[in-house]
Chain A
Amino acid sequence: MSAPVISVDSATGRSKAVTSAQPYMNPYMAGVGIGVVLLLAFLIMGRGLGASGAFSTVVATGVNAVAPEHAAQRPPYAGYLGDGATSPLKDWLVFEIIGVAIGGLISALLAGRWRTVIDRGPNTTDRARLVHAFGGGAIMGIGAKLARGCTSGQALTGGALLSVGSWLFIIGAFAAGYLAAPLFKRQWR
C-alpha cells in the first residue's frame, strides 16, 4: 500500500496529505502491463515504444515553420522533416505520445487523480519547482539526444532487446540520478 500522496495547494502554498481517491496499482502489475504493451509493439510493428523522438519531430516542425532554410540544411532537423510531401507530424512516435497523454488522462479521471497542481516537495516553492522542471527538462533533452532515446526508447525498448547501448544508458541514468540526488534534495523532501 503506497504512502499518502502529498501535494501542495498552489493557492495557499500549504502542503497537505491527500490520500489519492484510489490507491495506485501494484507497481509490478503496472510494469507487466507496460511490458505487454511493449511486446505488442514488437509483435505488430517490429519496433518498441519511444518518447523523446516525438518531441524532436515537434521541435523540427516548429523550427521548419519559422526558418525553413535553416531547418533544411541543419542535419538533425532535416532527418525529422522527411521529404516535405506529407506533414512530418504524421509520425509513429507523435501518434504514440498523443496516446500516452490520453491514456494517462483516462486513468487519472477514472481514479479521481486529476488535479491542477504543481507536484513538489514541501520545502520548496512553486516557482523554484517550475525553474527546476524547465532546467531538468532541458538537460534531459540533451541527454536523450546524445543517447538517441530516453527511458521509453532506450531503457524499456532497448533494455528488453538487451541492446548494449541501452543498458549503458540505464546504468548511466540511474547512477547519475543517485549521485546528483543530494543536489536537489530541497526540491523533493
Chain B
Amino acid sequence: MTAPFFELGMITENASLVIALGLGVAFGFFLERGGLGNARKLAAQFYLTDLAVLKVMFSAIVTAMLGLFWFSKLGLLDLELVYVLPTFVAPHLVGGLVFGVGFVMGGLCPGTSCVSASTGRIDGLVLLAGMMFGIFVFNEAFPLVAPFYNSTPIGQVTIPELFGVSHGGVVLLVVLGALGSFVLAERLEARGRARDS
C-alpha cells in the first residue's frame, strides 16, 4: 500500500498544514468556477431553475467514490486507514434537515460562504458571522443537547456494510442514481429556460 501517506508516517505535521492549504485552494477554485460562490445560483437549486449544486456535488461524490474504490482495489490505497466518521442516526438526519432549512434561507453553505465572502459578497461575510453565532449557541446549549447529540450511534458503518451488500454494487447504484438525476436536472433547466424566454 502506498497511501494514505500521512497515516503511513510519510508526511510531517507542518507539511500536512501546507497540504491543507493547497487542497483548500483547489477546492475553493473549483467551487467558484462552478458558480457556487453566488448565493442566488446556489438557492436556485431549490426552485428547480438552476441545478448546479446538484451537478457539482454529485459529480464530486461520484468521482471521489470511484477513485477510492479503484485505488484501493489496485492496491494503491489502504482503505482501512481512511477515517470514516461514526454514524449517529438521529442527529445526522435531524442535523441534515435543520441544515437544509438554513441552506435555502441563507443561500450558501459553510464552504461556499467562504468563497462568496472572498469574492466580495457582503452576504457571504454576514452568513459566516451567523454561522459562527449558531455554533456558539449550540455550544452554550450543549448540556441540554448532549443526550440527543450522542443518541442512536451505530458506529463507523458504510451503506454496503449496513445492508450486507457488495460495495461495488452500491457504487454502481450511486453512479446510476447520480446520472439519472443529471438527466432530470437538464430537463428541468431546459423547461425553465423555455418558460422564461
The answer to whether A and B touch directly, with their CB atoms under 8 angstroms apart, is yes
Q: State the A residues within 8 Å of B (CB).
A: 2-3, 5-7, 10, 24-25, 27-49, 51-52, 55-56, 58-60, 62-63, 74-77, 90, 92-93, 95-108, 111, 113-121, 129-130, 132-181, 183-185, 187-189
The answer to whether A108 and B119 have CB atoms under 8 Å apart is yes
The answer to whether A139 and B17 have CB atoms under 8 Å apart is no
The size of the chain B interface, using a CB distance under 8 A, is: 132
The answer to whether A75 and B142 have CB atoms under 8 Å apart is yes
**Quick one: closest A residue to B145, CB to CB?**
A146
| Complex CA distance for A153 and B188, rounded to whole angstroms | 28
The answer to whether A46 and B82 have CB atoms under 8 Å apart is yes
Identify which of residues 144-164 in chain B touch chain A, using a CB-to-CB cut-off of 8 Å: 145-146, 148-149, 154, 156-160, 162
Counted as pairs of residues, one from A and one from B, with CB atoms less than 8 Å apart, the total is: 555
The answer to whether B68 and A34 have CB atoms under 8 Å apart is no
The answer to whether B31 and A117 have CB atoms under 8 Å apart is no
Closest chain-A Cβ to B184's Cβ sits at a distance in Å of 13
Closest chain-B Cβ to A156's Cβ sits at a distance in Å of 6
Closest chain-B Cβ to A43's Cβ sits at a distance in Å of 4
| Residues of A contacting B114 in the complex (Cβ-Cβ under 8 angstroms) | 51, 97, 100-101, 104
The answer to whether A162 and B137 have CB atoms under 8 Å apart is no
Closest chain-A Cβ to B83's Cβ sits at a distance in Å of 5
| Complex CA distance for A62 and B40, rounded to whole angstroms | 31
**Pairs A–B under 8 Å by Cβ, sample size 14:** A5-B38, A25-B30, A38-B63, A77-B139, A98-B21, A132-B107, A142-B138, A145-B95, A146-B91, A147-B94, A160-B67, A164-B154, A164-B162, A176-B100
The answer to whether A146 and B149 have CB atoms under 8 Å apart is yes
Closest chain-A Cβ to B187's Cβ sits at a distance in Å of 15
**Quick one: closest B residue to A49, CB to CB?**
B27
